Structure 1
Amino acid sequence: MNLNFLRHPFVMLQTVPAGIALSVGAASLVFVYLEKFLIFDAFAAFLPELAPETARTVLAVIAGGAMSALTLTYSIVLVVFALAAGNLAPRMLKRFTSDIVNQVTAGVFGGTFLYALLTASFVEADFVPRAALLGAEILATLCVMQLIYFVRNVSESVAIDDEIAAITRNLKSAIEARWRRNEQEKEDAVGKESEAPGDFTFEIIAGKPGYLGSLDEDKLIAIAAEQDVTLEVQKARGVYTLGEEVMVKATKELDEETVEAIQKRISIRPSRSSDSPVEFSVNLLLEIALRALSPGVNDTFTAIATVDSLSDVFSQAAAQENGSSLVHRDKEGNIRLLVPELSIENLINQAFHPLRQASGNNILMAICLARAYARLCATCSRGVQNRLKEHGLLLIRELERAGHLPDDIESVIEILPPEIRKANRERQDKKKK
């Protein structure tokens, strides 16, 4: 059964708090049952002794306060969503709805309300559930502490620099995980000789339009091993595909049942998702930067913070670059599945081309890009340096096209690495001839 829908942020915002609330509420039944049918003489001195009416009042106050706090929590969350969508980036809503603090807070408040409500229903003239009542008071204290922590967490959520740092950490973790996965595949292949896959002659279409999400790699490998075939996925995760486009190629013809089984193991979503964390996070940082550079927002320093983070991430990715495809083998060492991944050069093009195009009229942003190119040229391979040289020359041409003063353009050129400055001089000499 495909349970990937449970990972959807908006589903998580409903299911996780509901699970916590029901679990906390059910604890009331446990405490009441234990107190009715077991002896608590050893703990009687530590339990509050209240009259039935007083107990009902205390529980009513706790239930009302928990529900009021729950209402306040969701109101604040909705305000944060509106601020994020309008000022930061609409796709950041997925990050906020996935925030575990929001989910736990809603679950604790909802659980306290249910706990107090259920406990109050067991209060009788001759029986007051003293243990459950103590539990309600403890939960009330926990609610106060959780509310304070929740407000602090929300204040950090709307701080754009903190959000950029958090997205960058997630992106670096995803790149690190991809690198470890590649290294593990290489280690598993040591000592296992296998023939190179043949020509990929059989084509399997996507079947429906959308963005390529997660792959059930283990099942695909098992299918390929059973059919004695090698599969090659044609698109990287996060890329949009039409239903009639070729998604997978195989080294021999497969029957219709096998084709359907392969298509079921490939998740194609109607919207972008964090199933491809590297590409999704890069696009999220890019969206924040482009929105910050738009005339309506005009927040250059937010865009600068984004470019600085991207240069840090790309530097790490360049140091761990292992190729553009992940090779999966079966237990015998035969190549069964090839999954393409965006290389560091693809990621650089994906991020820096739009940023450069949006920075033509902004010298401050152009200086930031030049510094990013210089940092990456100092840490990346020759192939990446050649790609950055093209980006640097395009940046200079963009500034010239925007009609900036020669001195301003020169202030950007001075920051670029020597290889780009030399290439620019050659370009100028050729232009004069």
Structure 2
Amino acid sequence: MNFRFLRHPFVMLQTVPAGIALAIGALSLIVGYGETYLSTNSIDPYLQLLAPETARTILSVIAGGAMSALTLTYSIVLVVFALAAGNLAPRMLKRFTSDIINQVTAGIFGGTFLYAILAITFVEPDFVPNLTILGAEALATLCVMQLIYFVRNVAQSVAIDDEIAGITTNLKTALDARNKSRGEEERKERKKAVEKVDDFVFDIIAGKPGYLGAINEDKLTEIATKAEVTLEIQKPRGAYTLGEEVMIKATKELDEETVDSIQKQISIQPSRSEDSPIEFSVNLLLEIALRALSPGVNDTFTAIATVDSLSNALSQAETQEAATASIHKDEEGYIRLMVPQLSIGNLINQAFHPLRQASGNNILMAICIARAYARLCATCGKEVRDILEDHALLLIREVEKAGHLPEDIDQVIEVLPPAFRKANRERKKDTKDE
């Protein structure tokens, strides 16, 4: 059975707190019945002996306080959602709804409420479950500590620099995971395999429109091995597809049942999701930067922090100088599945073209982008450096077009690598000759 839907942020926001709350509530029943039917004489001297009315009052106060704290928690979360959607980026809601601290906090408060309500049922005129009440008091203490930690976590959530750092960490982790255990020989084999497109003669359509999400690569490899066929995914994760577009190519014609099985192993979502963490994180950072550069927000330093984080993540990733594919083989060594992946050059184009286009009138931002090109140039291969050189020349043309002072334009040029400055001088010379 496919349980992928459980990873959806809004599903997690419901199921995780509910699971924690029910587990804590069940603990009340276990301790309460155990205390009712088992002797606790050995620990009675260490327990606080309470009158029945006092016990009910304590449990009622704990239940009411836990429910009030739960209401406060969700109110604060909704306020954070509103701030994130209005000031940061609407797509950051996925990060907030899947935040584990929010879920655990709601679960503890809800569980404490259930624990106290169920514990009241064990209080009788001639019997007080002192051990159960001690557990409720311990949960109340935990609620206070968790509420303090929750408020601190929420304060960090609305701090844009912390959010940019968190997104960047996710991006770097995803890039490292994608490039793990890849040697030079394997890269050459991937590139060679991708170029063999003439062998694919059968097309499999997507079946429905949406964004390409998770791909069950192991199951697809198993299906391809059984059918003695090689499959090639046509789009990278995060790309949008129409229902009638070709999603997969195969090296021979397949029956309808096999095609249906293949289509079921590819998740197509109506909206972008973290099933494609690299593309999702890059787009999220790009959205934050573009929103910060918009006239309505005009927050250049947020955009600068985003560009610095992007250059950090891409510079530390293992360089891939051409578009590659992740290949999967059967036990006999035959290639059965190829999944396309964006190269570092592709990611640079995806991120820096929109940033450069939005920064022509902002000389401070242009200088920051030029520094990012210099950092990336020092860590990437020749093909990526050629891409960066084209970006740098376009950036210079962009600031020249905006009509900045020559001294300001020189500030942008000075932070570029010497090879890029030389290319710019040659460009100007060619322009004068024309």
- The aligned residue for residue 372 of structure 1 is 372
Moved more, 42-51 or 382-391: 42-51
- Once the two structures are TM-superposed, the CA of residue 199 in structure 1 deviates from its matched residue by 0.1
- After superposition, give the CA deviation of every residue in 1:240-287 in whole Å (9 maximum; x if it has no partner): 000010000000000011001100110000000000101100100000
User: C-alpha separation between the residues in 2 aligned to 1:376 and 1:356?
Assistant: 15
1:62 matched to 2:57? The reply is no
1:361 matched to 2:357? The reply is no
- Counterparts of 1:191-230 in structure 2, within 5 Å, are 199-230=199-230
- Once the two structures are TM-superposed, the CA of residue 406 in structure 1 deviates from its matched residue by 1.2
Q: What TM-score do the two structures reach when normalised by structure 2? A: 0.96
1:279 matched to 2:275? The reply is no
Are residues 200 and 136 of structure 1, via their aligned partners in 2, closer, same or farther at CA, if it must alter by over 3 Å?
A: same
- The aligned residue for residue 178 of structure 2 is 178
SS at match of 2:214: strand
- After superposition, give the CA deviation of every residue in 1:286-317 in whole Å (9 maximum; x if it has no partner): 00000000001100000000000111111122
User: C-alpha separation between the residues in 2 aligned to 1:204 and 1:47?
Assistant: 69
- The aligned residue for residue 331 of structure 1 is 331
- Counterparts of 1:396-415 in structure 2, within 5 Å, are 396-415=396-415
1:36 matched to 2:42? The reply is no
SS at match of 2:244: coil
- After superposition, give the CA deviation of every residue in 1:220-244 in whole Å (9 maximum; x if it has no partner): 0110000000000000000000001
SS at match of 1:94: helix
1:148 matched to 2:148? The reply is yes
Q: Is the Cα contact below 8 Å between 1:179 and 1:322 reproduced in 2? A: no
- Counterparts of 1:29-428 in structure 2, within 5 Å, are 29-180=29-180, 182=182, 186=186, 199-319=199-319, 324-428=324-428
1:429 matched to 2:429? The reply is yes
Q: Is the Cα contact below 8 Å between 2:320 and 2:344 reproduced in 1? A: no
User: C-alpha separation between the residues in 2 aligned to 1:328 and 1:312?
Assistant: 30
User: C-alpha separation between the residues in 2 aligned to 1:343 and 1:91?
Assistant: 24
SS at match of 1:337: strand
- Once the two structures are TM-superposed, the CA of residue 319 in structure 1 deviates from its matched residue by 4.0
User: C-alpha separation between the residues in 2 aligned to 1:428 and 1:379?
Assistant: 27
Q: Which amino acid aligns with 1:178?
A: R
Q: Is the Cα contact below 8 Å between 2:327 and 2:338 reproduced in 1? A: yes
- Once the two structures are TM-superposed, the CA of residue 137 in structure 1 deviates from its matched residue by 0.3
User: C-alpha separation between the residues in 2 aligned to 1:156 and 1:396?
Assistant: 37
- Once the two structures are TM-superposed, the CA of residue 198 in structure 1 deviates from its matched residue by 7.1
- Once the two structures are TM-superposed, the CA of residue 331 in structure 1 deviates from its matched residue by 2.2
SS at match of 1:232: strand
User: C-alpha separation between the residues in 2 aligned to 1:382 and 1:183?
Assistant: 18
Which ranges of structure 2 fall in alignment gaps of 5 or more residues? 190-195
- The aligned residue for residue 193 of structure 2 is none
User: C-alpha separation between the residues in 2 aligned to 1:266 and 1:156?
Assistant: 36
SS at match of 2:297: coil
Corresponding pairs, count:
426
Q: Is the Cα contact below 8 Å between 1:215 and 1:265 reproduced in 2? A: yes
User: C-alpha separation between the residues in 2 aligned to 1:321 and 1:31?
Assistant: 62
Q: Is the Cα contact below 8 Å between 2:238 and 2:280 reproduced in 1? A: yes
- Once the two structures are TM-superposed, the CA of residue 103 in structure 1 deviates from its matched residue by 0.3
Q: Is the Cα contact below 8 Å between 1:182 and 1:322 reproduced in 2? A: no
Are residues 207 and 412 of structure 1, via their aligned partners in 2, closer, same or farther at CA, if it must alter by over 3 Å?
A: same
Q: Which amino acid aligns with 1:134?
A: L
SS at match of 1:41: coil
Are residues 242 and 101 of structure 1, via their aligned partners in 2, closer, same or farther at CA, if it must alter by over 3 Å?
A: same
- The aligned residue for residue 193 of structure 1 is none
1:4 matched to 2:4? The reply is yes
Identity, % of aligned pairs?
A: 73
Q: Is the Cα contact below 8 Å between 2:67 and 2:110 reproduced in 1? A: yes
- After superposition, give the CA deviation of every residue in 1:115-142 in whole Å (9 maximum; x if it has no partner): 0000012211111111111100000000
- Once the two structures are TM-superposed, the CA of residue 33 in structure 1 deviates from its matched residue by 1.1
SS at match of 1:42: coil
Q: Which amino acid aligns with 1:59?
A: L
Q: Is the Cα contact below 8 Å between 1:318 and 1:381 reproduced in 2? A: no
SS at match of 1:304: helix
User: C-alpha separation between the residues in 1 aligned to 2:24 and 2:182?
Assistant: 42
User: C-alpha separation between the residues in 2 aligned to 1:323 and 1:349?
Assistant: 13
User: C-alpha separation between the residues in 1 aligned to 2:63 and 2:318?
Assistant: 55
- Once the two structures are TM-superposed, the CA of residue 326 in structure 1 deviates from its matched residue by 0.4
SS at match of 1:311: helix
Q: Is the Cα contact below 8 Å between 1:197 and 1:251 reproduced in 2? A: no
Which ranges of structure 1 fall in alignment gaps of 5 or more residues? 190-195
- The aligned residue for residue 13 of structure 1 is 13
Q: Is the Cα contact below 8 Å between 2:81 and 2:96 reproduced in 1? A: yes
SS at match of 2:199: coil
- The aligned residue for residue 192 of structure 2 is none
User: C-alpha separation between the residues in 2 aligned to 1:183 and 1:148?
Assistant: 47
Moved more, 330-339 or 300-309: 330-339
User: C-alpha separation between the residues in 2 aligned to 1:297 and 1:186?
Assistant: 46
User: C-alpha separation between the residues in 1 aligned to 2:205 and 2:283?
Assistant: 26
User: C-alpha separation between the residues in 2 aligned to 1:197 and 1:368?
Assistant: 41
SS at match of 1:39: coil
Q: Is the Cα contact below 8 Å between 2:290 and 2:355 reproduced in 1? A: yes
SS at match of 1:338: strand
Cα root mean square deviation, aligned: 1.7
